[in-house]
Amino acid sequence: MNLAKNLLIAGAAAIAANAHGAVNITRPASLPVYSTTLNFDEPGGPTGPVPTTSWSAIGLSTITTGVGSLPNVANWATAYGVTWLGSANSVYGSFGMTLTFDSDLSALAANYWDTSSTFSPIGGGGCRIRALNNGVEVASLFINNPTFTMNENPRIDIQATDGAVFDTVEFAGFGFTPDAFLDNISWTAVPAPGAALLPLVGLAGLRRRRA
């Protein structure tokens, strides 16, 4: 009994010790690829205006747009007339998109394009990427001139350190008609704290039986 109790205390202490990490959002020179991937070209994947829960089976609970319309999957290089989106499918959302996951994440990467114009006092644009955990912002990056083209950097990388986590990522456009596109999303989910303790309890029980 004492062994099981000590293991639980040690596990809880380890989780508490990791609660002081940070979440960082960067624009890397190359896009990382994490454990779960979504590029909207998967065989049998949905296209057109699709339900917000279309990818819940892989842990992405919802994709919602900034104006409440359905996320729209298409080959936007052809449909929208912008060659810098490439020759495959991506997902579109007016005024940005929010990704909500059913598990905590330690990392997420994506290609993100936003057509907002340069910020100015009379309107203009800009875009902001935020990571949240349980509704609380844990990281934020504001891009002043987000009119991405083939020659600019659409890569976004979000990484948590020292046990920090996030469960929501928000891509928000600010401008007159900000159109947002996402592609090549990947992420790494982390197990719930309770799940991490179960093997410890099982090990303690096994040792008691052997004794």
CB within 8 A of 144, min separation 6: which ones? 118, 119, 126
Looking at per-residue pLDDT, the higher value among 7 and 60 belongs to 60
Mean pLDDT to the nearest integer, 36-64: 96
pLDDT tier at 21 (50, 70, 90 boundaries)?
Answer: confident
Is the separation of the CB atoms in 49 and 181 below 8 Å? no
Q: Is 0.85 surpassed by the pTM of this model?
A: no
- Is a pLDDT exceeding 90 seen at residue 3? no
Averaged pLDDT for residues 185-200: 72
Half-sphere exposure of 43 (CA within 13 A, CB side): 0
pLDDT above 90 for 9: no
pLDDT average, residue stretch 14-27: 70
Given the structure tokens 């719930």, which residue do they identify?
192
- Strands 60-65 and 97-114 come out as antiparallel
Torsion sign over Cα 131, 136, 141, 146: positive
User: pLDDT tens digit string along 123-179?
Assistant: 556 789 999 999 999 999 988 766 666 667 889 999 999 999 999 999 987 776 678
Angle at 22 between CA 17 and CA 28, to 5 degrees: 140
Q: What is the mean pLDDT of the chain?
A: 80
CA atoms within 13 A on the CB side of 2: 0
Residues in the chain: 211
Spatial CA neighbour of 173 closest among 128, 112, 117 = 128
Confidence of residue 51 (pLDDT cuts 50, 70, 90): very high
What's the whole-number mean pLDDT along residues 28-52? 96
Residue 20's CB is within 10 A of a number of other CB atoms, namely 10
Q: Tell me the C-alpha distance between 205 and 1, whole Å.
A: 8
* Predicted local distance difference test score (pLDDT) of residue 137: 97
Q: What is the pLDDT of residues 78-102, one digit of tens each?
A: 777 777 777 899 999 988 899 999 9
Residue 57 half-sphere exposure, CB side, CA atoms within 13 Å?
A: 5
Phi, psi for residue 130 in degrees, rounded to 5:
-125, 145
